[in-house]
Amino acid sequence: MSTQTFLTGNGDSRETLVVIFLRGAADGLSLVAPIEEDAYFRARPRIAIKKKEAVPLDGFFGLHPLLGELEPAWKEGDFAIVHGAGSEDQTRSHFEAQDLMEHGGLAAGGWLGRFLRARPEATSGALSCVAVGRLLPESLLGAPSATVMENLGDFSLGANSPGFARELQRLYARESDRLSVAARDTFDAIGRLDAMRSATYQPANGAVYDPKDDFAQGLQQIARLIKGRVGLEAASIDIGGWDSHFTQQTVIEPLLKRLGGGLAAFRRDLGADFQRTTVVVMTEFGRRVQENSAFGTDHGRGSVMFVLGGGVRGGRVHGPWPGLKEEHLEGPGDVPVINNYRNVLAPILRKHGATQESLASVFPGFELKPVGLYA
């Protein structure tokens, strides 16, 4: 058995999937606005993104100006957008929709957990999967091992005695079976993490993570694990607070700044390693096209997903866009879900090693029609 199937730390080039969940239903029409569509401005006389302020994308859509730091990723082809993304859940309930989306259907465990378990080499390392925060998200339920961490200090050998590690290392080295290999890989990884912790971290390529922003700091920890090659295969991190019923701009503007700034720093810091990383940004549903009387928007259906990383067909908005004319809207006037979130995740999971067959267990009871995110 190769050592790669264990806790690695052996400098392998494992690919990492980073899942960012925007909790509270982020407004897809503010993140990526159809700035060439009159219906958009008619529906949102007071809160539409102004055409001249938006970052032009493909001649039709424009990125929210506070996501402007992502423009280089778009131009360099590392950043793809899927509009009209969401799930089949029609309750417009945050809880129900997040639950469905994270479980990946009426199924036990979460889609990311099942993916990690269903791969041919599911016996991967102890540091293969981390959730940044205090709780394990539902999407990671059922993962072979998942570590909830707030910072890198959570990964260390607990005992307060230098002799403990030394003696353990010696005892395990005497073993002849797989335990000895597993122990060696574990000590390698601990060594890498110890080195990481003791060094003052200097993000590469001039990247700057906002020191006061938990999200940016979380991404920095993930970047360090990726660069430290400890065998990280999946990471999850959230930004909450997108439920903008009331004065939408004041609610989401700080969040957009954090999202854009954090992602841009992460990409810059990773440099070449970004090519073996995929970042997916998702939310439970989008918001009503028509603004409400309180300068806000109510619960809707389709929103937007971002996919950034190596190999993605970036610089384009994937999937058809029916437009915001009334006859194309759903229910009380919502962007329809044209791209089921599973059809966005499936090609990403394929790229990260899922077999075609295993996708059926990751997303049970759903006929996949993957979005063409990869060539």
Partner 1 sequence: MNLSRRHFFALGAGALAAAAGGCDQEKQAGASLLRWVGKPTAPPLEGPLTAPAAVEIDETSHVLNRLTFGPRPGEYARVAALGTAAFIEEQLAPERIDDWMCDRVIRHEFDELNEPESHLFPRRGDQKDPLQQLFPALKERGARVGDLYDIPEQALLSDITRATILRAVLSKRQLYEVIAGFWSDHFNIDPSKGECRWLKPADDRDVIRAHALGNFRELVRASAISPAMLWYLDGRVNRRKSPEEKPNENYARELMELHTLGVHGGYSQQDVMEVARCLTGWTVRDKHRWQKGKVEFDPKEHDDGAKLVLGQTIPAGLGAADLDRVLEIVVRHPSTARHIATKLCRHFIDDQPPKSAINTVAGVFAQTDGEIRHTLRALFSTPEFLQTRGNKLKRPFHFVASALRVTNAKTDGAQPIANALLRMGHAPFRYPTPDGYPEAANHWTNTLLWRWNFAANLAENKLKGTEIDAAGLREKLGGDAALAATVLGRIPTAEEEQAYRGSGAGLALLLSTPAFQRC
Tell me if residue 141 falls in helix, strand or coil: coil
First to last CA, the chain: 33
Alpha-carbon span 85 to 150, nearest angstrom:
30
CB of 121 to partner 1, least distance (A): 10
107 near partner 1, rule: CB under 8 A: yes
Size of residue set near partner 1 by CB under 8 A? 55
Told to check if 6 binds partner 1 by CB under 8 A, we report yes
**Of 42, 51, 178, 325, which one interacts with partner 1 (CB under 8 A)?**
178
- 25: Cβ contacts below 8 Å, ≥ 6 apart: 94, 97, 242, 243, 283, 284, 285, 286, 287, 299, 300, 303
270 binds partner 1 (CB under 8 A): no
CB of 59 to partner 1, least distance (A): 44
User: Does residue 161 interact with partner 1 by CB under 8 A?
Assistant: yes
DSSP 8-state class, residue 201:
P
Task: Report the residue from 106, 199, 272, 375 that binds partner 1 according to the rule CB under 8 A.
Answer: 106
- What is the DSSP track for 310-325? TTB--SSEES----SS
- Across 295-323, b (16+ Cβ under 10 Å) vs e yields bbbbbbbbbbbbbbbbebebbbbbbebbe
Q: Largest Cα–Cα distance of the chain, in whole Å? A: 74
- Residue 84, Ramachandran bin (φ over 0: left; ψ between -120 and 50: alpha; else beta): left
46 lies in the binding site for partner 1 (CB under 8 A): no
Of 195, 263, 277, give the one whose Cα is nearest residue 232.
Answer: 277
Residues 60-99 as x/- pattern, contact with partner 1 by CB under 8 A: ----------------------------------------
Q: Which of residues 115-154 bind partner 1 (CB under 8 A)?
A: 117, 122-126, 128, 136, 138, 141-148
Return the range that interacts with partner 1 (CB under 8 A); candidates 32-40, 84-92, 105-113, 302-310.
Answer: 105-113
The answer to whether residue 1 forms part of the interface with partner 1 (CB under 8 A) is yes
Q: Which is nearer to partner 1, 76 or 121 (CB)?
A: 121
The size of the chain, in residues, is: 375
- Considering the complex, what minimum distance in angstroms separates the CB of residue 215 from partner 1? 21
Q: How far apart are CA 279 and CA 236, in angstroms?
A: 10
Q: Is 354 in the site for partner 1 (CB under 8 A)?
A: no
> For partner 1, which stretch binds (CB under 8 A), given 47-55, 156-164, 245-253, 301-309?
156-164
Q: Which is nearer to partner 1, 159 or 195 (CB)?
A: 159
The C-alpha angle 152, 192, 126, rounded to 5 degrees, equals 65
Interface segment toward partner 1; rule CB under 8 A; list 76-84, 185-193, 333-341, 347-355: 185-193
Ramachandran bin of 273, using left for φ above 0, alpha for ψ from -120 to 50, beta for the remaining angles: alpha
Nearer to partner 1, 135 or 272 (CB): 135
- To partner 1, the closest distance from the beta carbon of 8 in angstroms equals 10
Which secondary structure element, helix H or strand E, spans residue 81, and what is its range?
strand 79-86
Q: Which stretch binds partner 1 (CB under 8 A): 21-29, 33-41, 178-186, 237-245?
A: 178-186
278 near partner 1, judged by CB under 8 A: no
Taking CB under 8 A as the criterion, the residue among 13, 174, 211, 212 binding partner 1 is: 174
Closer of 103 and 288 to partner 1 (Cβ): 103
Cα–Cα distance for residue pair 50/65, rounded to 1 Å: 9
- DSSP β-bridge partners for residue 18: 235, 279
Which residue ranges make up the site for partner 1 (CB under 8 A)? 1, 6-7, 103, 106-110, 113-114, 117, 122-126, 128, 136, 138, 141-148, 155, 157-164, 166-168, 170-172, 174-175, 178-183, 186, 189-190, 361
